[in-house]
Structure 1
């Protein structure tokens, strides 16, 4: 690693971990999961956490999180068939935004195959204008804060 690269987080550094199964269609012609699928994994693990935490109602909720920034660094290939351990943590909670840190690990691996982040800005579902984070959401996010 270069001096400019931050140290990689182990899976134990993430406050929440869930499994994601790769699919046949995730592989590209090079035999590994295509890079764009990693962002789908990020979206899936974050929104699953929020839905299971009962703070995101994708059909009837008044606020929604819009992705305004993402990043991913790739270290090892993922492929089908594999079960990925996706770890998430929160590194920043703002008035209307949240930064999630995500690590994707193959089962049993100590180092991530990929690491990235995902920033949501929460907006009113109708007006699409930023809104303050609901208290229940902030409380859940605090449980996985770095």
Structure 2
């Protein structure tokens, strides 16, 4: 079975640098796999917060993760800085598939790449809602289909 190649840096629309921490390493001397998922959340949610389209404390609409996955190509370890590239691979009515590439600082090849799907819901009812127009515009700017 052949493995699909990892995406290049140029395939991602926005980047966030994330420093590793001493506590990120596990007993095998590299970053533990669960930390990668926190980097995915950090990169995407920080982008949305900074763009002014996600209010984690009082916004009427929030994103809930319904699916996630990760592929690993090379280990990362403290002390390194990670460049997390993000893109919106699919923008639906109430959901978004985010894809994230994790690169060691300055490296051309991804050490890992993952995805997660957010379904956007009403904060109170937890029922899906259409993506707000301002969120949709920010997503369009990082979409794989941007022109």
Q: Same fold (TM over 0.5)?
A: yes
| Structure-2 separation of matches of 1:108 and 1:47 | 23
SS of the aligned residue for 1:8 comes to: coil
Residue 118 of structure 1: CA displacement?
0.9
When normalised by structure 2's length, the TM-score is: 0.96
SS of the aligned residue for 1:116 comes to: strand
Residue 65 of structure 1: CA displacement?
0.1
CA RMSD of aligned residues (A): 0.8
Match of 1:54 in 2: 52
Q: Runs in 1 of length 4+ with deviation above 6 angstroms?
A: none
How many residue pairs end up in the alignment? 144
Match of 1:128 in 2: 126
Match of 1:71 in 2: 69
Does 2:51 match 1:42? Answer: no
SS of the aligned residue for 2:48 comes to: helix
Partner residue of 2:116 out of 112, 115, 118: 118
SS of the aligned residue for 2:89 comes to: strand
Does 2:31 match 1:33? Answer: yes
SS of the aligned residue for 1:138 comes to: helix
Q: Which runs of 5+ in 2 are unaligned?
A: none
When normalised by structure 1's length, the TM-score is: 0.96
CA deviation vs aligned residue, 1:22-78 (integer Å, no higher than 9, x gap): 111100000000000000000100100000110000111001000000000000001
| Structure-2 separation of matches of 1:132 and 1:140 | 15
